[in-house]
Structure 1
Amino acid sequence: MSKKVILITGTNSGFGWLTAHSLVALGHQVYATMRDTQGKNSDKAAALSVLENVTVLDVTLTDDKCVQQAVERVIAESGRIDVLVNNAGFSLNGVAESFTTADLQAIFDVNVFAPWRFIKQVLPAMRKQAEGLIINVTSGFGRVSFPFATIYAGSKFGLEGISEGLHYELKRLGIDVAIIEPGAFPTEMSQKTQYASDQSVFEGYSAIAEMPGKMMIALGGLIQSHNPDPQMVADAIVDLIGTAKGKRPLRTVVDPITGKYIEAANHAVAEQFGPGLTLFGMGELLT
């Protein structure tokens, strides 16, 4: 695999942390973003910074200017940007009605708008190169929406929609867009699930009040019994980067627990997507 310049978001923990280490081990130049590198993430920033070919960038994902400056620095120092991995995200769970508009704005700002900020900034350089790869980490909940994960799923559906359209728009410009769909893994994100702000609606949901808790208990049990390794997601990202341009699949499911039905959904859509594009006069975008 030739050496590439790779920008990864959310590298202070979980998939991003493992991906950064995996790519550096292969000799790639990695720009690892996280926030608060002088505060709560200082230890993680320091640990990554001592690795050869790693530059840690303090980036606030919700700040347009901050994202722009980060991408400009990568290009100024390395002369190009080959791969963007949009990994950062967070989860909100609970009764959907209990989420305020501000709650939705917060999760969409990180899970949808932040990836778009980076995509918007890297595309001019990738188009000029006529080469590039954008990997967006979504979720199995980007394909199906489970009760009490409704708002989180909505944000991941949004990123999936952006990714799928871009996959076809950019293919003939030499740029690949690929989606990683992880299932449940024992990462810091899964252990720091946040909940909704509007508790006033809970009384009206007394008939199903125990269900969110049951879901989390069941999920914890599945993770404990299967013990899925988060490195699987990092390995899938590495594999996509190492795959030849134009040969990368749109979606890659990484879910040893419930991935089969997500794969089945992906397969069913893929079978009909091509004929649909052709019907609308865009069949040439398939090749």
Structure 2
Amino acid sequence: MSKKIVLITGTNSGFGWLAAHSVAVLGHKVYATMRDTEGKNADKAQALSAVENVTVLDVTLTDDRSVEQAVKTIISKEGSIDVLVNNAGFSMHGVAESFTTGDVRAMFDVNVFAPWRFIKQVLPAMRKQQEGLIINVTSGFGRISFPFATVYAASKFGLEGLSEGLHYEVKRLGIDVAILEPGAFPTEMSQKTVYASEQSVFEGYGAIAEIPDKMMAAVGELIQTHKTNPQDVADAIIKLIDTEKGKRPLRTVVDPITGKYIDTINKAVAVQFGKGLTMFGMGELLA
């Protein structure tokens, strides 16, 4: 197995933290991004920096220059970036009407625009070397929009849309774009419930406004019952890296709770999607 240069975002906790360790132990060179490495994430940055084959970079995902500088630093030092894992994510819940424009913008800036910032920066180098892998971590909510996770789902739909179209655009250039769809796991993000800003809106919804808390409690119980392990997501990332170029699936579901019906949706849509591409004169992209 050839050793690769792997850039992973959102490595201060959860899937990113586990992926950075798991990929590095295989001998790949990992560049792990997180923000505020001298502040609230200082301990995490120090611990991760002590891992062999890992270099921590302080990157603000919502800042074009910060992302551009990080990618330039890696390419200048290593000559290439072989794998980009867009893992960083942000979740917020509540009745949709309670989201301000600022709330929606913040969600999309992290979940959609930040991945795109990295994609734009790594694609030229990947095209030049005619090889590369981009893994975008979305969610089962990137395929179905549950009530009270409406805006979060919309942002993950957005990342899925960017990923799916791009997958076919760059595949013939030697670049694979893969979507990873995790379900509910006991990560720091899932254990911190953040609600939209306009809490006063909840009052107008009566008993309906109590449902988001019930939903989060139900998710917590399902996680306990199924004993979901976030390492499964890190392992799925490794499997995609190890899979031969051109043979990586567009979508990979990692979800022991609701994964079966998300996978069913994916398979059904793939058939119709293929028909659509053919209908619009792009059937050759399916090869």
TM-score (norm 2): 0.99
Alignment-derived partner of residue 258 in structure 1: 258
Alignment-derived partner of residue 165 in structure 1: 165
Alignment-derived partner of residue 134 in structure 2: 134
Alignment-derived partner of residue 208 in structure 1: 208
Q: Which amino acid is the alignment partner of residue 218 of structure 2?
A: A
The 2-side partners of 1:213 and 1:154 are apart by 20
Write out aligned runs for 1:95-244 (5 A): 95-244=95-244
The 2-side partners of 1:173 and 1:194 are apart by 41
The 2-side partners of 1:56 and 1:272 are apart by 42
Alignment-derived partner of residue 245 in structure 1: 245
The 2-side partners of 1:227 and 1:49 are apart by 30
Alignment-derived partner of residue 275 in structure 1: 275
Structure 1 residues 147-186: Cα deviation after superposition (integer angstroms, max 9, x where no partner): 0000100000000000000000000110000000000000
Q: Which amino acid is the alignment partner of residue 80 of structure 2?
A: R
Tell me how large the CA RMSD over aligned residues is: 0.7
Alignment-derived partner of residue 83 in structure 1: 83
Q: Which amino acid is the alignment partner of residue 7 of structure 1?
A: L
How many residues are paired up? 287
Contact 1:277/1:283 (<8 A) preserved:
yes
Contact 2:133/2:177 (<8 A) preserved:
yes
The 1-side partners of 2:114 and 2:267 are apart by 28
Q: Which amino acid is the alignment partner of residue 255 of structure 2?
A: D
Contact 2:6/2:85 (<8 A) preserved:
yes
Give 3-state SS (helix, strand or coil) of 1:172's partner.
helix
% same residue: 79
- Deviating runs (4+, > 6 A) in structure 1? none
The 2-side partners of 1:207 and 1:186 are apart by 28
TM-score (norm 1): 0.99
Q: How far 1:199 moved relative to its partner?
A: 2.0
The 2-side partners of 1:57 and 1:214 are apart by 38
Contact 1:19/1:237 (<8 A) preserved:
yes
Q: How far 1:208 moved relative to its partner?
A: 1.2
Q: Which amino acid is the alignment partner of residue 152 of structure 2?
A: Y
Contact 2:25/2:52 (<8 A) preserved:
no
The 2-side partners of 1:259 and 1:64 are apart by 34
List runs of 5+ in structure 2 lacking aligned partners.
none
The 2-side partners of 1:138 and 1:156 are apart by 6
Contact 2:25/2:53 (<8 A) preserved:
no
List runs of 5+ in structure 1 lacking aligned partners.
none
The 2-side partners of 1:117 and 1:39 are apart by 24
Structure 1 residues 63-98: Cα deviation after superposition (integer angstroms, max 9, x where no partner): 000000000001000001100000000101010000
Q: How far 1:54 moved relative to its partner?
A: 1.1
After the TM superposition, which of the residue ranges 63-72 and 37-46 deviates more from structure 2? Answer: 37-46
